[in-house]
Amino acid sequence: MYPDLFKSKVFYLPATFLFLVAVVFLTFNSKNEPPKEIVIPVTIPEGYDTSEAADVFASKLTTFDKDRFLLIAKAKEGFLFPDTYYFFKLDNEDDALRLMSANFEKKVAPLRSQIVLTGKTEKEIITMASIIEREAKGDADRSLISGILWKRLSLGMPLQVDAELETYKTKGLPKSPVCNPGLEAIKAAIYPEASNYLYYLHDKDGNIYYARNFEEHKANKLKYLTQ
């Protein structure tokens, strides 16, 4: 009898003890383990201006103050790098501005020596890049359009680009960037492609047609814009 009782106590006491330890551990862990943060990806496409970027952020981040973002970002147009960013639930407009500005600095810093060699200011390069971003259809067109636009400026011609309507009335670059360009557009502004072209146009499908002179340009208009 006594040996059996002893064996019973030896068997059940450790099991009870372990059960209590497990309960305490689980209770403590459930109350003190910080909740896992939800990561929210936000993609700002190349060529979006600050207003378009604000709309995207506002649709993703619950604490994002769109009006405050626009107030601060207005002076940073062109210098907020378009990319995919990852935010936590409570991140706000300050976090968005900080990340986009830091990313711009990271991307552009290696190009600054080349920008100096162009003889143009960084703002001029970014402004041109913002136009190229809106005017070009893809990588194949950026450098060629860059060459055309820089040539127009050198000849004293107005840029006349749809990306910024004031360029139909005044000569020179716009006073500030018209959007936030991506890296390839910035590189295209730094490294324009020389060509014999001076004009280009987009058809209704976005395809681009080039012309060496105004007569060719008028012919392209008749051929591709009157169909």
pLDDT (tens digit, 9 = 90+) per residue, 185-221?
999 999 999 999 999 999 988 889 999 999 999 999 9
pLDDT at 38: 86
For 22-76, the pLDDT digits (tens) are: 444 444 444 444 455 789 999 999 999 999 999 999 999 999 999 999 999 999 9
Q: At what angle do helices 139-154 and 183-190 cross, to 10 degrees?
A: 40
Let me know if residue 145 belongs to a domain. yes
Q: Which of 187, 175, 190 is nearest to 127 (CA)?
A: 175
DSSP state of 215: H
**Residue-averaged pLDDT of the chain:** 87
Among 109, 132, 152, the domain-final residue is: 109
User: How far is the C-alpha of 66 from the C-alpha of 140, rounded, in Å?
Assistant: 35
Give me the mean pLDDT over the 71-89 stretch.
97
Among 76, 109, 142, the domain-final residue is: 109
Residue range of the domain that includes 167: 120-224
For 169-180, the pLDDT digits (tens) are: 999 999 999 999
User: How far is the C-alpha of 28 from the C-alpha of 51, rounded, in Å?
Assistant: 47
Same domain membership, residue 104 and residue 139: no
Question: Is pLDDT of 81 > 90?
Answer: yes
Burial 21-38 (b: 16+ CB within 10 A, else e): eeeeeeeeeeeeeeeeee
pLDDT at 17: 44
pLDDT at 102: 98
pLDDT at 29: 47
CATH code where residue 77 lies: 3.30.1490
Same domain membership, residue 124 and residue 105: no
Q: How many CB atoms lie within 10 A of CB 113?
A: 8
Let me know if residue 157 belongs to a domain. yes
Let me know if residue 23 belongs to a domain. no
pLDDT at 137: 84
| Single pTM value for the model | 0.82
pLDDT at 15: 46
Same domain membership, residue 167 and residue 88: no
Among 57, 83, 109, the domain-final residue is: 109
pLDDT at 190: 98
Question: Is pLDDT of 111 > 60?
Answer: yes
Q: Which of 188, 124, 204, 135 is nearest to 163 (CA)?
A: 135
**Which has more pLDDT, 5 or 55?**
55
